[in-house]
Structures are given as structure tokens and as C-alpha cells.
Amino acid sequence: MRTTVASASVTESAAAPMTTPKLQECRDCGQVQVVPAMPPGSRALCLRCDAVLRHTRHHPLVLPAALNLSALILFGVAGTLTVMSVSVTGQHRAASLFSGPAELAYYGFWGLSVVVLITTFAAPLARVLCMLTVLAGLCMKRPPTELRAIFAWVERLRPWSMIEIYMLGLYVAYVRLSAVAPVDLGPALYALGGLIGITVLADVSLDPQAVWEAMQPPNRRRARTREVFLDIGAASDAADRPRIGCDTCGMVSRAAQGTPCPRCGCLLRDRKPKSIERTWAYALAALILYIPANTYPVLTVIRFGAGTRSTILGGVRELIDYGMWPLAALVFFASIAVPVLKLIGLSILLISTQTGSVRRLRDRTILYRIVDAIGRWSMIDIFMESILVALVRFGTIRSVYPGPGALAFAAVVILTMLAARSFDPRLMWDNARPPPVPAGTRTDEIAA
């Protein structure tokens, strides 16, 4: 295996260099490259696939701390007050963030209840708390080493924090409900709206590499200021080992595979273990469950004693009947089209990787990024259902009960998300030749 080291391209927006140049592996294509010294507010792009390797910020620690603290306060408001309330024939019913999971558990849908609770409350709250713990810990003279494991969780929890999708699910529920009964929006809804904005800002203002560098053990930090490339070959007995990039913090070292990363302590792996096999397994399981997810009812609606069962497609048809074409198109796309497109996309990625194709690698990497990003949006229907089940409980006059299709559908969404996360896009690039190195760049070729 030959590894070429070259400089990533940097788009600068300020004058004085701030960061130390260092080696980093691109998580999308596996290219090891030097991320040069960067001023605040600039981006380093992978020279092979254009992935963002680093985006430096003007206040990489203070601003995220302030924003996460605000997010914690908004969580308190969103978790304790009413999200939405509805009145039917003089009876009033209000729902909070926990009403949906509580009602789903009441009807025996424990799995669905746990999924909704984790994605709308536990995961986003845990992310905020982890982030605050790390940023507070960095203020200490000697930051505890446990901070590294806590910060690793901030990134792991990211795809499972779905407040913005929950908000869209609430909107669809609001539209469906307001067609038949008066609906009032509660203060928790506005807190959730603020929370989404603040969480996005907190993520955007954070430079994860700055946090990892601040948490680096002191002896290695001193070594790196003396010699930029010291961290790749400090130990003489490790000099012949191939470089390995850390999946968690991005640091490149010559540590052995299966040993802890010198910076973040997570186990080093050249590629995700059994990536192709696990991705196929998750994708096929999702494909099988897609059938009951669309044929079994996701909801049973009782109107004056008579029950109507509704599938996902039935829900879309109902929105069309109300004249809500854009919303019907959104739900159709998110719930019916996205899982299918995602499975087709994953199959293309898997087959092209297994056949060793080196064609259109950049396009296939973009396809991978899209597949990884869109899958979670299919949860709209599950969140909409959880709020309808919580709000519409007026006995035989009008009630909504969850159906078994919802459980299968939630499983499809989670399995396709796991499939995308199991796939290692670097495998696609492994058959390709390294890119030509820009003139005047310090390079270092190793035969391993």
C-alpha cells in the first residue's frame, strides 16, 4: 500500500495563521494529507474528494459553550411545558414532549416509545450535556482524560438527535388536526423552535479539531510544537508501520491497528470492520421490513365509534383530500420515496465497491453523503403519529391509536441509518491511484 501525503486546499478569510499544520486523514476518501496552518474562519478541503477537513472558527470554545448553555435552558422549557393542545366537543387535551412516548408505551408499543424518547429528548439533551462537560473541563488546568471519551459521544449522538425532524412531524400533525378540531400551540413549541436554531449555531461555531487539540495529552502537545511531523513517527520501532487515521478525532499516527489512538483513546481501525457485509445485512433487513411498514396500518382513527385504519400512503391521501398538496408531497417523499432511494443508493455503492470500480468516485462519494444525510428525515411520520396518539384521546367520539405498521416503519428508518453508517466510503477509493501532488508541497511517500 502506498500512501501519498499532500496539502489540503485552504480557503482563507483572515490574515494571521493560528493553527499548527498537521496530518489528517479524510474520512470520506482515506487520503492522508497535511492540513496547513489556518487563520480563524477558513476551511481546508480534501484535495481528492472536496470533503471539509477542518473549518476554523473565531471563538471555537467560548461561543459553543454559551450556545449550549442556552440550549440547556430551552430544553428545560421544552420538557416541562405544553407543546400543543386540542379541543373536541368541549373536552380539552394537552400534550408535552413526553406525552407521545408515554401513550405509545401505554398501548404496548414500547420499542416505538423508546425510539421517540431517545431521538427527541435523550440524545439531543445528552449531546448538549456532553458538550458542556467537555468545554467546562477544558477550563481546568489539567483537563481530565475522561473528557476525550465524552467528546467522542458528541459526534456519535449527532445523527440520533432529531429535534428538527420532530418539529416537522409536529407541523404535519398540526395541519391534520386543525382540519377537524381547534388546535392551540403551546410555549414548548416555541422553545423547541429556538432550540433547533441554537443547536445548529452551536454545531456551526464549533471547531472539533480545536477541542481535540486542547484535550491532547501535554507531552504530545509539546512535541508537536517542536516538530509538526513528530506525531507520525515519534517512536523509532513504529517508523516502519503504515500510517493510520483515527475515525473519531482524525489524527494520523503510526500506532498499530487495534491499539488506542494517541490523542482520543478510541481504538484505531484501518477501515470499518466487515463494512460491506454489515451494510448488506442492514439494507436487506430494511428492505424486508419495508413491506409490512407500508401494508400494515400505522394509525387507527375512531370517529363516532367507527374505526378507520390508515397506512402511510393513506395519511398522504388524507393530506391531499384536505388540499395540502405541498405537505402531502413532503410526507410522500420522506416516508415512501426516501427509504427506497436510500436502499437503491446503498446498493449502487455496495456493488460498485465490490466490483472494484474506480469510475465516478467523486459522484459516488457525494451519493454516500446524501444517503447518510437524508435517511433520518423519514422519521417525520413516526413523530407525527406520536403527537396524534397523545392528543386525540376522546373515547368513541374521536381517538387515534398506533398500528403495527409504525413499528415496522421505525425499524426500516433505523436499519437504513445503520446501513449508511456501516458503509465505509474509503473502500471505494482504495482501488484508485493517489492524486498528483501540487507543486511546491512538502510530500512524503511511504511504501508499506
The three grid cell numbers given for residue 243, joined into one nine-digit string: 500510517
Could you tell me which of 114, 172, 139 has the C-alpha nearest to residue 312? 172
Min. distance of Cβ 443 from Zn ion in angstroms?
17
- Least separation in angstroms between residue 59's CB and Zn ion is 24
Task: Identify which of residues 31 and 113 has a Cβ nearer to Zn ion in the complex.
Answer: 31
Nearer to Zn ion (CB atom), residue 109 or residue 368: 368
| Nearer Cβ to Zn ion (103/231) | 231
Cα–Cα distance, 42 to 57 (Å, whole number): 7
Alpha helices in 118-207 (DSSP H): 123-137, 146-157, 163-178, 187-205
Report in angstroms how near the CB of residue 151 gets to Zn ion at its nearest. Answer: 10
Q: Strand 32-35 vs strand 6-7: parallel, antiparallel, or unpaired?
A: parallel
Residues 384-417 as b or e (16 or more Cβ within 10 Å = b): bbbbbbbbbbbeeebbbbbbebbbbbbbbbbbbb
DSSP string, 37-51: ---TT-EEE-TTT--
Residue number, 28 or 318, with CB nearest to Zn ion: 28
Nearest distance, CB of residue 378 and Zn ion, angstroms: 28
Say if residues 401 and 369 touch (Cβ distance below 8 Å). no
Q: What is the closest distance, in whole angstroms, from the C-beta atom of residue 415 to Zn ion in the complex?
A: 27
Cβ closest to Zn ion, residue 116 vs residue 211: 211
> Which residue lies nearer to Zn ion by CB, 77 or 432?
432
In the complex, least distance from residue 213 CB atom to Zn ion, rounded to whole angstroms: 12
Q: With H, G, I as helix, E, B as strand and everything else as coil, classify residue 9.
A: strand
**What minimum distance in Å lies between the beta carbon of 255 and Zn ion?**
9
Beta-carbon count within 10 A of 13 CB: 13
Of residues 177 and 261, the one with the C-beta less far from Zn ion:
261
Under a CB-based contact definition with an 8 Å cutoff, are residues 215 and 64 in contact?
no
The contact set with Zn ion (CB under 5 A) reads 26, 28-29, 31, 46, 48-49, 51, 246, 248-249, 251, 261, 263-264
Nearest Cα neighbor of 171 from 439, 381, 368 is: 381
**Radius of gyration, CA atoms only, the chain:** 25
